[in-house]
Chains A and B, each alone.
Chain A
Amino acid sequence: MKIPGTSYQMRVETRLDNPGWMGAASAVLGIILALIVGGIVLRAAGATDPIGTYQEIFKEGYGTPADWQAGFHALLTNGDCPRGLLCFGPISDTLVKAAPILLTGLACLLAFRMKLWNIGADGQMFLGGLAATAVAVFIMPKDTDRSLMLILMAIAGSLAGLAYGLIPGFLKARLNINEIITTLMLNYVAYKLLEYFVVVGPWSIGDFESTGPFPKTATWPRLTEFAKSVPIFAGLTAHPGILLGIGVAIILAWIFYKSQWGYQIRVIGDNPRAAKYAGIDLPRNILLVMGLSGAIAGLAGMNEVAALRELNGRFQRGLGFTGVIVAWLARLNPLAAILVSILFGGLMVGTQLIQPQGISAMLQGVILFVVVGTELLFRYRIKLEKAEQIVINKAEAPHDK
């Protein structure tokens, strides 16, 4: 394509090799571009100083280097943080926000690896939350051992997610029904189920649209609970949910790159016909992947109720869709998803106070948009070069007619 007004032309060439660092580079470039585009929108929305706004978001989401330094000093000397909650407060909140989107991100990423478009992580997460609540509030006695209670909640949550993921899985494996439609629609069924149980139905206490607070044994232990021995933990909300997510990410990484099952998933994802040729059972793998994907999303639901300490009608929708963004930004690499979810968690925390409230979602959307766009740079090389003149030699046009 010739660039008008210059003697240069632009050429788009397919890249013959995709070095590993390109993925990371294009993700970083995507984020930078997204911040620029977002800055323009922020300006249009009335922010006089978009860069200042970003600094504020970063500070709210992660804290400042000075705060961190003070925090680590306090941690080493086992003293109080001179800046109070400012030391580790932001990053602690960010980790809390990152946990569910890491889990839903991993759920999406697992399915996407096999080119199964599970966009129902949201619904699977709701089911996981419901099942974990049932265990915490209605099945197990209040004085159950805390770790046993949390483990049972996690098992119930993942089983519910698994069952909910198997529905579209079964429809896809046996009847070849498009999983995009079924997983998407089942989200709404899950929203309504939750509404039935906690808003109108049997689990609601009075008019509160809530199950009421969970027994303490059914909640994540938070850092602040250990403030007696480590003073700096006072007021910090971070809980083991993020560790659960990191654990699942490591297991998924092992499955993908080391195990025979992961090999099968990658073969199916790249070429299902070759998989069939190699004797790999496709329907069985669809069920396994959709089931496990749902189970991971279900864990996200368990994590949320254990963190919120109650289940109510305001249980947040959309974390499953943020998972889609996390999965793509991580380029379907489970370990990269850890970083991406912490980045996004910070964005969610940092933009909480910004008005208008849509800014957070806007930035997320712009980032996804730009990152998917930079896929072009990943796949193709764009070259700017001097337009080669096509040699025309009119003098010698030979013909004997």
Chain B
Amino acid sequence: MSESPNSFEMRGIVKRFPGVFANDHVDFSCKVGEVHALLGENGAGKSTLMNVLAGLYRPEAGELVIGGKQVTLHSPQDAIANGVGMIHQHFMLVPSHSVAENMVLGLNKPRFFLNLSQVEEQVAALAKQYDLNVNPRAKIWELSVGEQQRVEVLKMLFRGAKILIMDEPTAVLTPQEVEALFRTLREMTSQGHSIVFISHKLDEVVAIADRVTVLRKGKITASGVSAKGSTKAQLARLMVGREILFQIEKKKMEPGKIILETKNLQADNDRALPALRGVSMQLRAGEILGVAGVAGNGQRELAEVLTGLRNSTGGEMIFDQVALGPHTNWREIGQRLAHIPEDRSAVGSVPGLSVAENSILKCFNLTPIAKGWSIDAAAMQKKAVKLVDEYQIATASIQTPVRMLSGGNLQKLILAREISGGPSLMIAVHPTRGLDVGATEAVHKLLIKQRESGAAIMLISEDLDELLSLSDRLAVMYEGKIVGEMPAEGADIQRIGLMMAGTKVEA
């Protein structure tokens, strides 16, 4: 491996954004036939560096050598012409078009006539070669997330990419799909492709990568170390600059009374199609119920129905011995029913308002914040200062608009606000998505602390490691139903994966 030539080399890359050095003289290279993992916390500059390589950003200084040639990339088209393709976290596909049509989208040939059947043949051949099983005639919307990712990979191969950048490719996949993806990646490297693999999941990095480079605050902290010889703990320390606990200490707790119970709960999704098809479950005090499942199987709708953001179309839900329904005053029970929404900035906070104003989002009409018709500014500030201190939220001041906060600090603020109400039930949806290792650890600790103080917690997540380490019980959702429940301790990850994919598994 070591005698392979470099497929690309970035040297002394400098890219600044207002107030930050996103990349501070970064060197990064990848050999032909290698998977090189790029690690780092959020804001460490990984995406910036890769956007430079993919032609989206122009560096302020530094040079880029691809295939031995000095190049200047002006656009993603330039990058693809040089054999560099990037697969973003959010897929760039047209849902109403077929796989083959998506392949030719944005290409300037053929100019006038689209010979789709020829494209389809080429795609099928490529798919066969790399074990990427997709029907070229299928429409994108018909495909699962895993299949759509394969289309993205195919698209890059079809366009002749020799260097493939993958930004957190496994975040949305089942364990089986992850394995399939890794098989494809190995096939690609054996054919001389190079892959840059960006991930937060250290297990996967150790499993797939040949070498690892770690970025912290725009600078390299480890350059091209061998992945085989590294441990998770070492990599994490390089990323955040301190030790990270992977094993979460969890006290043994005897579950208390039933806090939340649903019976045959049903609801529609945004397209008015059934999303929940009869969810029945119980959640007890001092217990974390992990809800696993591939995105789009009703988890979001379940959280929304339980928090009053969506109306149920049938069934029952009982919270603290009181039935919830259209008559419920959600604002009133909002203090006891905490909700960590999936989307921190679009749902959980008001970006233009200050930290202080966001800290009272759910209690602005309650004492001590409310005073007659007005808001007691002193009480609001006191509360904000307390939350910022207690939860170590890094902010310039409590008057700073929350859009200035990093994802981790924003999430801590939301958690702090929700916990400050003294909830007996907490619904947390993807609470650590997109957070770096350090912030993830903080959020996990807070959830565990809530459990120990006797709250019932529903943890909806796509991260199986997170679910297994935090939950007491696991429920797997598939097509709007809970298809399996099991104690988290000693749960079989293969079996969970099969359930997530809809395969019937005997209990």
Binding site for B on A (CB under 8 A): 13-16, 254, 258-261, 263-264, 266-267, 270-271, 273-280, 381, 388, 390-394, 397-401
**Which residues from B are CB-within-8-Å of A16?**
18-19, 404
Q: Does the CB pair B65–A397 fall under 8 Å?
A: yes
Bound form: Cα–Cα A263–B361 in Å: 9
Bound form: Cα–Cα A275–B307 in Å: 13
Bound form: Cα–Cα A222–B3 in Å: 95
- Of B206-214, B288-296, B340-348, B452-460, the segment with at least 4 beta carbons within 8 Å of chain A is B340-348
Bound form: Cα–Cα A261–B68 in Å: 64
Known interface pairs A277-B339, A278-B331, A279-B331; A270-B365 also in contact (CB < 8 Å)? no
A380 to chain B, nearest CB (A): 9
Cβ-closest chain B residue relative to A275 = B350
**Bitwise interface map of B from 372 to 386 toward A, beta carbon under 8 Å scored 1, else 0:** 011101000000000
In chain B between 349 and 406, which residues have their CB closer than 8 angstroms to a CB of chain A?
Answer: 349-353, 357, 360-362, 364-365, 370, 373-375, 377, 404
Q: Does the CB pair B69–A267 fall under 8 Å?
A: no
Q: Does the CB pair A399–B68 fall under 8 Å?
A: yes
Cβ-closest chain B residue relative to A258 = B374
Of A13, A263, A270, A394, the residue contacting B364 (CB under 8 A) is: A263
- Of B55-63, B91-99, B174-182, the segment with at least 4 beta carbons within 8 Å of chain A is B55-63
Asked if B330 is at the interface of the complex by the 8 Å CB criterion, the answer is yes
**Which residues from B are CB-within-8-Å of A254?**
374
Q: Does the CB pair A279–B59 fall under 8 Å?
A: no
Q: Does the CB pair A279–B334 fall under 8 Å?
A: yes
Cβ-closest chain B residue relative to A380 = B18
**Which residues from A are CB-within-8-Å of B361?**
267, 274, 277-278
Asked if B192 is at the interface of the complex by the 8 Å CB criterion, the answer is no
Asked if B6 is at the interface of the complex by the 8 Å CB criterion, the answer is yes
Known interface pairs A259-B373, A260-B373, A278-B331; A393-B63 also in contact (CB < 8 Å)? yes
Of A14, A259, A390, the residue contacting B18 (CB under 8 A) is: A14
Bound form: Cα–Cα A23–B357 in Å: 21
Known interface pairs A397-B70, A399-B5, A399-B67; A271-B350 also in contact (CB < 8 Å)? yes
Known interface pairs A263-B364, A390-B59, A393-B63; A278-B334 also in contact (CB < 8 Å)? yes
**Which residues from A are CB-within-8-Å of B81?**
none
Bound form: Cα–Cα A267–B3 in Å: 59
Q: Does the CB pair B12–A277 fall under 8 Å?
A: no
Of B67, B329, B352, the residue contacting A270 (CB under 8 A) is: B352
Of A13, A264, A277, A392, the residue contacting B70 (CB under 8 A) is: A392
Q: Does the CB pair B346–A381 fall under 8 Å?
A: no
| Across the A-B interface, the 7 shortest Cβ-Cβ residue pairs | A399-B68, A279-B331, A270-B352, A400-B5, A13-B18, A279-B330, A271-B350
Bound form: Cα–Cα A8–B362 in Å: 50
Q: Does the CB pair B63–A270 fall under 8 Å?
A: no
Q: Does the CB pair A258–B63 fall under 8 Å?
A: no
- Give the residue among A264, A392, A393, A399 with the most B Cβ atoms within 10 A: A399
- Give the residue among A260, A280, A393 with the most B Cβ atoms within 10 A: A260
Q: Does the CB pair B365–A260 fall under 8 Å?
A: yes
**Which residues from A are CB-within-8-Å of B330?**
279
20 example contacts (A-B, Cβ-Cβ < 8 A) are as follows: A13-B17, A16-B18, A260-B365, A261-B373, A263-B357, A263-B360, A266-B357, A270-B350, A270-B352, A273-B347, A274-B361, A275-B350, A279-B330, A390-B72, A392-B63, A393-B63, A397-B65, A397-B69, A399-B65, A401-B67
**Which residues from B are CB-within-8-Å of A266?**
350, 353, 357
Asked if B233 is at the interface of the complex by the 8 Å CB criterion, the answer is no
**Which residues from A are CB-within-8-Å of B3?**
400
Known interface pairs A270-B352, A397-B65; A277-B374 also in contact (CB < 8 Å)? no
Q: Does the CB pair A278–B68 fall under 8 Å?
A: no
Cβ-closest chain B residue relative to A393 = B63
Q: Does the CB pair B362–A279 fall under 8 Å?
A: yes
**Which residues from A are CB-within-8-Å of B12?**
391
**Which residues from A are CB-within-8-Å of B357?**
263, 266
Bound form: Cα–Cα A399–B70 in Å: 11
Q: Does the CB pair A401–B68 fall under 8 Å?
A: yes
A118 to chain B, nearest CB (A): 20
Bound form: Cα–Cα A258–B378 in Å: 11
Of A277, A388, A392, A393, the residue contacting B347 (CB under 8 A) is: A277
Bound form: Cα–Cα A392–B59 in Å: 12
Known interface pairs A16-B19, A271-B351, A277-B341; A260-B374 also in contact (CB < 8 Å)? yes
Of B67, B353, B377, the residue contacting A267 (CB under 8 A) is: B353
- Give the residue among B331, B339, B365 with the most A Cβ atoms within 10 A: B365
Asked if B308 is at the interface of the complex by the 8 Å CB criterion, the answer is yes
B412 to chain A, nearest CB (A): 17
Asked if B9 is at the interface of the complex by the 8 Å CB criterion, the answer is yes
